[in-house]
Amino acid sequence: MKKKEAIIILTAILTFVSGLLCKDAIAISKNQEDISTFLEKSNIIIEESMLTGWNAVNERFMNQQEIDRKLDEITEILGFKKEVAIKEFDSKEDMNKGVLSISKNQSKYNITIESFRNNDNEEKTYISFMAIFKGSYKNLYDDKSYMEECFERIGLPMELDMVAIGNIPGRVSKEIMESTINNILNAFDAHEIESIRSKELISISAYSLKIDDYIISNGNKINMQIGMRYSQYYDKTFIWVGSPVIPFEY
């Protein structure tokens, strides 16, 4: 299965989680129908969908003016108006940083370029990106491909991870958590590679041949991560689904 088809399945699962069914994900297979039924009965609500990534873009120290110009390039190539773009800068002897923040409808974008010089005069510049979409977002894969292409065109190549965050009100049993995760793994014919299981958390890293992208962890290929954790503060059981990975602590 091609990467886009696999991502459509992922999008379908995340859409099922929110209780919706987008036109691109109708009746993909019996497995997906079973998952939709299970997740709808589990009353899972998608809070956010996001794209996120970072990369080292060059080995030199960029000054504030260069960073400012790059942020303007990003604003233009992503199709945003300069009036909605907020830029902030921080400059020190061995560090220059620029942050671009954009809000559009119910979406938020944050791009950071940081340039460093250490005591050995080694220089490096990094870029990080995060786009947050409220609820389930059916264009996640298309936006991922488009934004990766845009960053490549302006000399800031970066691969993005797709993540969705949802919740079930209250505490669910470990059996339901395990069953939810297993249903998602089965939909991708994915097998578990690594896991963390504690009283409050289940975290699974897995690999599926249906998804082209992957990273290497301890010598193994990984291209899916799923986590579930109960929060006593919010009295909710949160679920995270990411591909290739969930690139932050949860």
Domains 3-48+163-243 and 51-161 share a fold: no
User: DSSP string of 123-147?
Assistant: EEEEEEEEEEEES--TTHHHHHHHH
Distance of CA 24 to CAs 21, 135, 215, Å?
8, 17, 27
Could you tell me which CATH class the domain 51-161 is placed in?
alpha beta
pLDDT tens-digit profile, the chain (250 residues): 445 555 555 555 554 443 322 323 322 333 333 333 444 455 677 788 899 999 999 999 999 999 999 999 999 999 999 889 999 999 999 999 999 999 988 899 999 999 999 988 899 999 999 999 987 777 888 888 899 999 999 999 999 998 888 888 889 888 888 988 888 888 788 999 999 998 889 999 999 888 778 899 899 999 999 999 999 999 999 999 888 888 887 7
* pLDDT at residue 241, as a whole number: 87
Question: What is the value of pTM for the model shown?
Answer: 0.78
* pLDDT score recorded for residue 125: 96
| Residue 22 DSSP SS3 | coil
Q: Return the domain boundaries, the chain.
A: 3-48+163-243, 51-161
CATH code of the region 3-48+163-243 = 3.30.360.40
